Amino acid sequence: MVRRRLGPAMIEFRSVTKQFPDGTVAVDSFDLVIPPRKTTVLVGSSGCGKTTLLRMINRMIDPTSGSILIDGEDTSGLAPVKLRRRIGYVMQNSGLLPHRKVIDNVATVPILNGVPKKDARARALELLDTVGLDRSLASKYPRQLSGGQQQRVGVARGLAADPNILLMDEPFGAVDPIVRAELQQETIRLQEGLGKTVVFVTHDIDEAFLLGHQVVILQKGGHIAQVGSPAEILANPANDFVASFVGADRGKRVLRIERVDGRDVVVDENGTPTGVLQP
């Protein structure tokens, strides 16, 4: 297969609106530039339009008006099926095909793209390594795996066609906190290692700050409350909504310095020590 050269994958929303047939305006003239090879996190409470925004990137949903550009190319001119095959998509419930073995789930998209089955499977095995899964799981069926393992397979599948964009919709929402923390670290490592443009959706601000180079705080209707790096947002919340959302007003993020034995110890709002300050 001749692989067309993909660009760095900058994504641009230009005045994008989505109104569903029932009249719900899920996204209202949304503008955003998603920088290439970085992680952008869309964060906001349930129903604010995150999933709708994400699914407009791979044309699972078409905007009512406005346009979405990938490396300057308007996606409305691209065939949805082709577009989806070059964009990785990871969802909350992993969405694995229950009747296919792990290895075949991972190999699905390359095979759709015409890669010979043998090559696709060989690559799928490598991807299991990449996402930290034992190769012995290759011949298992999704139901035989734990939730965390299924999510890893979901990530491997998202990466299988070597897309330059990876869309992740609350991918770790349903796994327990310990596994989630592990998967988050894994995601950071993968993104840094592979240089993909990751668009990550979550309602968890801590997750957003952990993963995002750029964090987009959303309000109902996909209205942007603030865009910036986690540090920028913490240092300078744009308004009360943001301050409250990131927890700055409740002292959740307020740390104090206490002097103990001649060293500066950082304590949180409850006075619990969380670390020491280095000069």
Partner 1 sequence: MNLLGEGIAWIVDPANYAGPQGWIVRMLEQLFYTFGAIAVAAVIAIPLGYLVGHTGRGRDIAVSLSGGFRALPSFGVIILLALGLGIGFKAPLLTFVIIAIPPILAGAYAGFEAVDRKTIDAARAMGMTEWQVMTRVEVPLGLPLLIGGVRSSALQVVATATLAAYVSGGALGVFIFQAFATRDYPQALGASVIVTALALALEGIFALIQKLVVPRGVVAKEPKDVRARAPRPRATTGIPVQEGK
Which of 9, 11, 16, 26 forms a contact with ligand ADP (CB under 6 A)?
A: 26
Choose, by CB under 6 A, the member of 20, 79, 263, 273 that binds ligand ADP.
Answer: 20
Maximum Cα interatomic distance, the chain, rounded to a whole number of Å:
66
**51 makes contact with Mg ion (CB under 5 A):** yes
Quote the radius of gyration of the chain (alpha carbons, Å): 20
Q: φ and ψ at 8, to 5 degrees?
A: -75, -10
How far is residue 202 from each of residues 42, 48, 146, measured CA to CA in Å? 6, 11, 21
Q: How far is the CB of 222 from Mg ion (least distance, A)?
A: 12
Q: Does 64 participate in binding ligand ADP (rule CB under 6 A)? A: no
Identify which of residues 176 and 264 has a Cβ nearer to partner 1 in the complex.
176
To partner 1, the closest distance from the beta carbon of 195 in angstroms equals: 21
Q: How far is CA 169 from the centre of its chain?
A: 6
Contacts of 142 (CB under 8 A, 6+ apart): 94, 96, 97, 98, 100, 102, 105, 150, 153
Question: Does 52 sit near Mg ion (CB under 5 A)?
Answer: no
Q: Is 156 in the site for ligand ADP (CB under 6 A)?
A: no
97 binds, among Mg ion, ligand ADP, partner 1, none (CB under 5 to 8 A by kind): partner 1
**Backbone angles phi and psi of 31, in degrees to 5:** -120, 130
User: In terms of DSSP bridges, do strands 197-202 and 165-169 run parallel, antiparallel, or are they unpaired?
Assistant: parallel
For the record, the structure tokens of 111 come out as 């095979």
- Using rule CB under 6 A, residue 116 touches ligand ADP: no
Closest distance to ligand ADP from the beta carbon of 53 (Å): 7
Q: Of 62, 36, 78, nearest to 164 (Cα)? A: 36
Rounded to 10°, the helix 147-159/177-194 angle is 10
From the list 48-56, 141-149, 241-249, 269-277, the region that binds ligand ADP by CB under 6 A is 48-56
Q: Cβ closer to Mg ion: 20 or 236?
A: 20
Binding site for partner 1 (CB under 8 A): 55, 58, 60, 81-85, 89, 91, 93-101, 108-109, 112, 132-134, 136-137, 140-146, 148-149, 157, 179, 182
Q: Which stretch binds ligand ADP (CB under 6 A): 16-24, 30-38, 146-154, 232-240?
A: 16-24
When asked if residue 168 is in the footprint of ligand ADP (CB under 6 A), the reply is no
Q: Is 273 exposed, middle or buried (0-12, 13-18, 19+ CB in 10 A)?
A: exposed
Binding at 96: pick from ligand ADP, partner 1, Mg ion, none (beta carbon under 5-8 Å per type): partner 1
Q: Is 49 in the site for ligand ADP (CB under 6 A)?
A: yes
User: DSSP class of residue 61?
Assistant: S
* Residues near ligand ADP, by CB under 6 A: 20, 22, 24, 26, 44, 46-52
* Residues near Mg ion, by CB under 5 A: 51
